Amino acid sequence: MALALEGVTRVVRGRTHVHPTDLVLGKGTMNVLLGPTLSGKTSLMRLMAGLDRPTRGRILWDGAEVTGVPVQRRRVAMVYQQFINYPTLSVYENIASPLRLLGRSKAEIDRATRETAEMLRLTPMLDRKPLELSGGQQQRCALARALVKGAGLVLLDEPLANLDYKLREELRVEIPRIFEASGAIFVYATTEPEEALLLGGNTATLWEGRVTQFGPTAHVYRRPCDATTARVFSDPPMNFVACRKERGRVSFGAGAATATAAAGPFAAIPDGRYLAGFRPNHLDLVRRSGDALGFDCALTASEITGSETFLHARHDGEAWVGLLKGVHELGAGAAVTLWLDPAHVYLFDAGGRLAAPAAYAMAA
């Protein structure tokens, strides 16, 4: 089974919620939709589910067109950010409810319900009511209800957003396992890059109703096709600085705050102006290699997590974040030199397209 979107567009009262989108979600794949709030994740999911009809374009399911087919007649299941269960039914009845609606036999309902409950580790709670469970267990129950009927397409709309940090961590590890056991196409919307990375599979990054890139998650992370994708797929956000390539050298920043490097990794691209981007964890307080670039920055704040330090700094008017290993006690206002290995720098052209990927990402 595969789901294909062909030029799918959604316009509501003159406003485009989803720009023309082509996507093919392969059989049994995990697909992450990553983007900030209002980037079109939910709109896209509703189109996939058949809750909304695309203004233009077609939706194919295994090659057969399902564009106008309403959600009731598709094999789709959805899990929302809120824990949606029937409060008066036991966990067992909640999980069994989709099967009862389908009119399955009693024995089959019992078998499927218990199997799904086991997979989601709900067996000891089958007789309880959803509201007697913890948030994590309630969401597991909702997940079980989505999975029990063997839907071919399972849509999860920020399912962990309302959970405690540690519970989230636990379920994040479990969802790939559940997904593998189900054999369905999973589509998982999230605002958090780290969640996308942990889930693996494929990722589509979204920005203002457009899919900016779609591919294997690690590939999209390490080789973003444009500056927007790189920004969406970075937390803390990617840092940027203007740069210019001429006469075989690349100079970063403007005026007195310039750092230059031999063209080395950027030899293949023509001379001109570019935007350099790099992730916070690649900045360093010490110079680790001979060709590292040094940037003079003014520190605005530092945050210590116990094992890592976030440095908030300004370089030539740009706000940067550095994520450093270990604890570094630095006061605000301090002048520091932050070092950056050119192998970690992405160059984007004037239109924001990737001109040169970071050398380290090519090696990985």
Partner 1 sequence: MARITLSRLAHSYLPNPADEAQFALKEMTHVWRDGGAYALLGASGCGKTTLLNIISGLLRPSQGRVLFGETDVTDLPTEARDIAQVFQFPVVYDTMTVRENLAFPLRNRGKAPGYIAARVAEIAAMIGMEAVLDRKARGLTADAKQKISLGRGMVREDVNAILFDEPLTVIDPHMKWELRTQLKALHRQFGHTMIYVTHDQTEALTFADQVVVMHDGRVVQTGTPEELFEAPAHTFVGYFIGSPGMNLLDARVEGRRAHLRGGTVELGAAYPALEGRVRIGIRPEYVALTEGPGLPVSIRRVEDVGRHRIVRAELSGAPIDIVAEEGERLPAEPRVVFAPEKINVYADDWRVEGEAA
Partner 2 sequence: MEKTQNNRAWFLVLPMLVIVAFSAVIPLMTVVNYSVNDTFGRNEFFWAGLEWFDETLRSERLWSALGRNALFSAIILAIEVPLGIFVALHMPKKGFWASFCLVVMALPLLVPFNVVGTIWQIFARTDIGLLGHTLWSLGIDYNYTANPLHAWLTIIVMDVWHWTSLVALLCYAALQSIPEAYYQAAKIDQASRWKVFRYIELPKMKGVLVIAILLRFMDSFMIYTEPFVVTGGGPGNSTTFLSIDLVKMAVGQFDLGPAAAFSIMYFLVILLVSWVFYTVMTNMDKEEGV
Q: Contact residues for partner 2 (CB under 8 A)?
A: 12, 46, 50-53, 70-71
Strand pairing class (3-12; 15-25): antiparallel
Q: Give the DSSP letter string of 232-266.
A: HT-SSPPEEEEEEEETTEEEESSGGG-EEEESGGG
What are the counts of helices (DSSP H) followed by strands (DSSP E) for the chain?
Answer: 9, 21
CB atoms within 10 A of CB 282: 19
In angstroms, rounded to a whole number, what is the distance separating the alpha carbons of residues 159 and 36?
Answer: 15
Where in 205-224 is the site for partner 1 (CB under 8 A)? Answer: 218, 221
Q: Which is nearer to partner 2, 5 or 109 (CB)?
A: 5
Q: Please, what is the minimum distance in Å from the beta carbon of residue 265 to partner 1?
A: 15
Residue 51 binds which of partner 2, partner 1, none (CB < 5-8 A, kind-dependent): partner 2
Q: Which of residues 282-321 bind partner 1 (CB under 8 A)?
A: 300-301, 303-307, 310, 312, 321
Are 232 and 226 spatial neighbours (Cβ–Cβ below 8 Å)? no
357 binds partner 1 (CB under 8 A): no
Of 46, 223, 245, 279, the residue at the interface with partner 1 (CB under 8 A) is 279
26 and 214 Cβ atoms separated by less than 8 Å: no
Binding status of residue 28 toward partner 1 by CB under 8 A:
no
Judged by CB, which is closer to partner 1: 235, or 316? 235
Query: Residue 227 is which amino acid?
Result: A
Q: Can you read off the two tokens belonging to residue 314?
A: 């300004």
Site for partner 1 in 152-191 (CB under 8 A): 164-167, 169, 173, 191
- Does residue number 67 form part of the binding site for partner 1 (CB under 8 A)? no
Tokens found for residue 280: 């916070």
Least separation in angstroms between residue 325's CB and partner 1 is: 8
Q: Residue for token digits 């709309």?
A: 157
Determine the straight-line distance between the first and last CA of the chain, rounded to whole angstroms: 32
Cβ distance 343 to 358 under 8 Å?
yes
Q: Is 336 in the site for partner 1 (CB under 8 A)?
A: no
In the complex, the residues that contact partner 1 under the rule CB under 8 A are 36-37, 134-135, 164-167, 169, 173, 191-194, 197-198, 200, 218, 221, 235-237, 279, 281, 300-301, 303-307, 310, 312, 321, 323, 327, 332, 360, 363-364
